[in-house]
């Protein structure tokens, strides 16, 4: 590759500090505008002729480079791998990027592509071609067309006012001239093949999501004791479009947090929580975003007992993620919903929700998170801080 020079699938750079350049290249290779179906390669530490430029590639640099996969700036999450080679003349880092199954891919809300050895921003027509390629490859439930749904079933003002400005750069929006189907389709919310909104669109922007996805709600129960046989203090069903559900769950997390002072051994007091809202936020979002919606009649349940909160969602581990790799591995059952949670500000990074929850529990002095992974559901247990 070094000898053959830059091309539609190879880019050279000798800088070790231009993260924007790296991410634009990763985005462009993931879009695979040429439709080659082959990986693209970003080679760092070489000049424009492909000669090593005497750089030293550290492990920290490689870790930072790999972190661009899950930092939430490149959406949907790219399939990429980072490698280091020590050659005569210096070290080089190579980022291998596989074509995305769900193009167009954006970095900072912009669709980058490569045509030959040249990088640039996709036109509306090029975005349309990428979208049509994605329709043929769509495999996950949230990218499939919602049978029986039409644009009339969506609250398009939510999409236009709350979502679109956060998902697409102002420069692209200023171009205008794109139909609502094209705008939705570019963000994986419209399936051209069946001429209907996708399941993700109905969940996020639907006027009545439950009419199409009956179990798309959260059931909350507060029990007056440690068992489900005890009396019920409060009960609530949280439903509606997904943005409203996530907002209501944030409110619920704050409501049950219950801050209180605790006296330490040195007789000073510190404020702690029964259940830190940061941990609950991450676990609530995980349960709603990563649950199985496909054919399931079971809602997400949140049961608060006197000594714990249990969060249960239908659907076990997805894809090639195994119990041995959980909770450190990542596989996305609903990648469009995961992307939406990031865009709407309910998630900061991908694949970090459980780790963030456990760290919040540790800082609060709470027992560690308990979890059970069964064949058809997942259970998270947050125990009350003593």
Band of pLDDT at residue 319, cut at 50, 70 and 90: low
Q: What is the pLDDT of residues 134-144, one digit of tens each?
A: 655 567 899 99
Model confidence at 219, pLDDT cuts 50, 70, 90, reads: very high
pLDDT of residue 177: 74
Q: Worst-scoring range by mean pLDDT, 80-84, 101-105, 232-236, 340-344?
A: 101-105
pLDDT in the model for residue 321? 64
| pTM listed for this prediction | 0.76
| pLDDT in the model for residue 172 | 80
Residue owning tokens 């679109």:
164
Tokens of 197: 């909104």
Strand segments, DSSP code E, in 103-185 are: 106-107, 112-115, 118-121
Interval 284-310 mean pLDDT: 95
The whole-number pLDDT of residue 18 equals 94
Residue 240 has pLDDT above 70, yes or no: yes
Work out the angle between the directed axes of helices 277-290 and 335-343 (0-180°, nearest 10): 140
Q: What is the pLDDT of residue 124?
A: 83
The full set of domains in the chain, from first to last, is 10-121 (3.30.950.30), 138-208 (no CATH), 218-383 (3.30.565.60)
Please compute Rg for the chain using Cα positions. Answer: 23
- State the pLDDT at residue 58: 95
Question: For residue 19, with 0-12 CB atoms within 10 Å meaning exposed, 13-18 middle and 19 or more buried, which class applies?
Answer: middle
pLDDT digits (tens, 9 = 90+) for 157-180: 999 999 999 999 888 887 767 889
- Cβ proximity of 8 and 117 under 8 Å: yes
The predicted pLDDT at position 285 comes to 95
Confidence bin at 145 (pLDDT 50/70/90): very high
Mean pLDDT is lowest, of 17-21, 153-157, 260-264, for 260-264
Q: What tens digit of pLDDT does each residue of 257-289 get?
A: 999 888 776 767 788 999 999 999 999 999 999
Burial state string for 162-189 with b = 16 or more CB within 10 A and e = fewer than 16: bbbeebbeeebeeeeebeeeebbbbbbb
**30-53 mean pLDDT:** 93
Distance CA 225, CA 233 (A): 9
pLDDT tens profile 101-110: 888 999 999 9
Q: What is the mean pLDDT of residues 90-113?
A: 93
pLDDT value of residue 142: 93
What average pLDDT is seen over the chain? 90
pLDDT at 241 over 80: yes
Residue 118 pLDDT level (bands cut at 50, 70, 90): confident
pLDDT at 249: 97
Task: Give the CA-trace dihedral at 108, 109, 115, 118, to 10 degrees.
Answer: -40
What are 220's two structure tokens? 């909350």
What average pLDDT score do residues 231-254 get? 96
Between 263 and 307, the more confident residue is 307
What is the pLDDT at residue 135?
Answer: 58
The answer, yes or no, to whether residue 320 has pLDDT greater than 80, is no
For residue 309, whether the previous peptide bond is cis, meaning omega lies within 30 degrees of 0, is no
Residue 74 has pLDDT above 90, yes or no: yes
- For residue 297, give the nearest of 201, 373, 377, 208 by alpha carbon: 377
pLDDT at residue 349 tops 80: no
Give the residue-averaged pLDDT of 301-316: 95
Residues above pLDDT 90, as percent of the chain: 70
pLDDT at 289: 94
Q: Contact at 8 Å (CB) between 113 and 26?
A: no
pLDDT for the residue 70: 84
Residue 157 contacts residue 101 (beta carbons within 8 Å)? no
Q: Is residue 85 scored above 90 in pLDDT?
A: yes
Query: Among 54-68, 108-122, 172-186, 240-254, where is mean pLDDT lowest?
Result: 172-186
């Amino acid at each position: 590759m070094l000898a053959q020079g830059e091309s539609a699938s190879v880019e050279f750079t000798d800088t070790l500090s231009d993260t924007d350049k790296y991410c634009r290249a990763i985005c462009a290779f993931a879009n695979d505008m040429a439709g080659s179906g082959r990986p693209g390669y970003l080679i760092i530490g070489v000049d424009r002729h492909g000669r090593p430029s005497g750089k030293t590639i550290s492990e920290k640099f490689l870790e930072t480079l790999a972190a661009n996969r899950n930092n939430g700036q490149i959406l949907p999450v790219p399939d990429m791998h980072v490698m280091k080679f020590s050659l005569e003349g210096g070290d080089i880092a190579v980022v291998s990027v596989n074509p995305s199954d769900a193009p167009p891919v954006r970095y900072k809300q912009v669709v980058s592509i490569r045509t030959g050895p040249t990088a640039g921003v996709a036109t509306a027509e090029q975005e349309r071609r990428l979208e049509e390629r994605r329709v043929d490859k769509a495999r996950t439930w949230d990218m499939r067309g919602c049978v029986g749904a039409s644009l009339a079933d969506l609250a398009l003002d939510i999409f236009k006012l709350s979502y679109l400005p956060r998902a697409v750069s102002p420069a692209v929006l200023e171009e205008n001239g794109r139909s609502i189907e094209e705008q939705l389709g570019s963000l994986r919310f419209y399936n051209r093949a069946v001429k209907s909104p996708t399941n993700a669109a109905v969940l996020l922007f639907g006027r009545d999501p439950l009419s199409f996805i009956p179990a798309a709600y959260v059931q909350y129960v507060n029990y007056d004791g440690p068992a489900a046989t005890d009396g019920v203090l409060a009960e609530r069903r949280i439903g509606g479009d997904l943005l409203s559900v996530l907002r209501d769950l944030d409110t619920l997390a704050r409501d049950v947090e219950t801050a209180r002072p605790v006296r330490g051994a040195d007789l000073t007091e510190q404020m702690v929580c029964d259940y830190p809202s940061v941990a609950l936020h991450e676990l609530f979002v995980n349960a709603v975003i990563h649950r199985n919606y496909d054919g399931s009649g079971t809602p997400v349940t949140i049961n608060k007992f006197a000594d714990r909160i249990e969060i249960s969602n239908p659907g076990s581990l997805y894809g090639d993620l195994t119990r041995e790799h959980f909770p450190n591995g990542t596989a996305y059952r609903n990648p469009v919903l995961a992307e939406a949670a990031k865009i709407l500000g309910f998630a900061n990074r991908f694949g970090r929700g459980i780790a963030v929850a456990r760290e919040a529990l540790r800082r609060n002095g709470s027992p560690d998170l308990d979890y059970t992974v069964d064949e058809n559901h997942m259970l998270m247990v947050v125990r009350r801080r003593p």
